[in-house]
Chains A and B, each alone.
Chain A
């Protein structure tokens, strides 16, 4: 079975550019989470969805960040405009219930 699939794996962009990260959760999982990993703060929850509906976006750092889940098999995390401090690894995770999370391999973002 395919796990959580994220793209791109690596993204290098310049400050001010728009960045879109993509996630395909495991089929049948009702919950989808976006996390960001940095050295200083570890894994921070940005936003999560239940049945495609955003439940808690309190972790989204600012208005430059937005996330959507138009259907059960696809989600995007967008940063516009991007800044150097957004550089991090962004993980998507899914779960069928409120227990163990299954993570993708992450998208490493570098903003120059």
Chain B
């Protein structure tokens, strides 16, 4: 049973536009949420996080939104750049993190 779901396996966005990646979770006890970025043949690298007491966290071009009532998490990238092309994983948990299946983002020049 997948506790963290990323329903879009892939997404293509024009360079300069906004990329929105979505994630849903089922466990209301999760109190920490993260996004990771993964390039081919590399390990995932941390991008941005948010705790359950907040609904928004911003870091440069990246913003994470948390809607606890809907158990929904999203990552906004604006403006999107070609170097943002990668697989993005959302993760949620407490002491241990549960990851989604990933969304492959392709930025079209």
For residue A86, which residues in chain B have a CB less than 8 angstroms away from its CB? Answer: none
A-B contact count (CB 8 A): 54
- Which of A42, A45, A103, A104 gathers most chain B CB within 10 Å? A42
A104 B43 Cβ-Cβ under 8 A:
yes
A105 B43 Cβ-Cβ under 8 A:
yes
B96 A33 Cβ-Cβ under 8 A:
yes
A42 touches which of B32, B46, B100 (Cβ 8 Å): B100
A91 touches which of B44, B100, B101, B102 (Cβ 8 Å): B44
Q: A106-B41, A106-B43 are in contact. List 17 more A-B contacts (CB 8 A).
A: A4-B43, A42-B6, A43-B44, A43-B91, A43-B99, A45-B96, A45-B97, A91-B44, A98-B32, A98-B94, A99-B32, A100-B46, A101-B91, A101-B97, A104-B43, A105-B41, A105-B42
Say what secondary structure dominates the interface of chain A: strand
Chain A interface residues toward B at CB < 8 A: 4, 33, 35, 40-45, 48, 55-56, 91, 93, 98-106
For residue A55, which residues in chain B have a CB less than 8 angstroms away from its CB? Answer: 95-96
**In the bound complex, CA of A100 to CA of B89 (Å):** 13
Report the minimal beta-carbon distance from B53 to chain A, rounded to whole angstroms.
14
CB pairs A–B below 8 angstroms (27 shown) = A4-B43, A33-B96, A42-B89, A42-B100, A42-B102, A43-B44, A43-B91, A43-B99, A44-B99, A45-B96, A45-B97, A45-B99, A48-B96, A56-B96, A91-B43, A91-B44, A98-B95, A98-B96, A99-B49, A100-B34, A100-B49, A101-B97, A103-B36, A103-B45, A104-B43, A105-B43, A106-B43
For residue A101, which residues in chain B have a CB less than 8 angstroms away from its CB? Answer: 44, 46, 91, 97
For residue B85, which residues in chain A have a CB less than 8 angstroms away from its CB? Answer: none
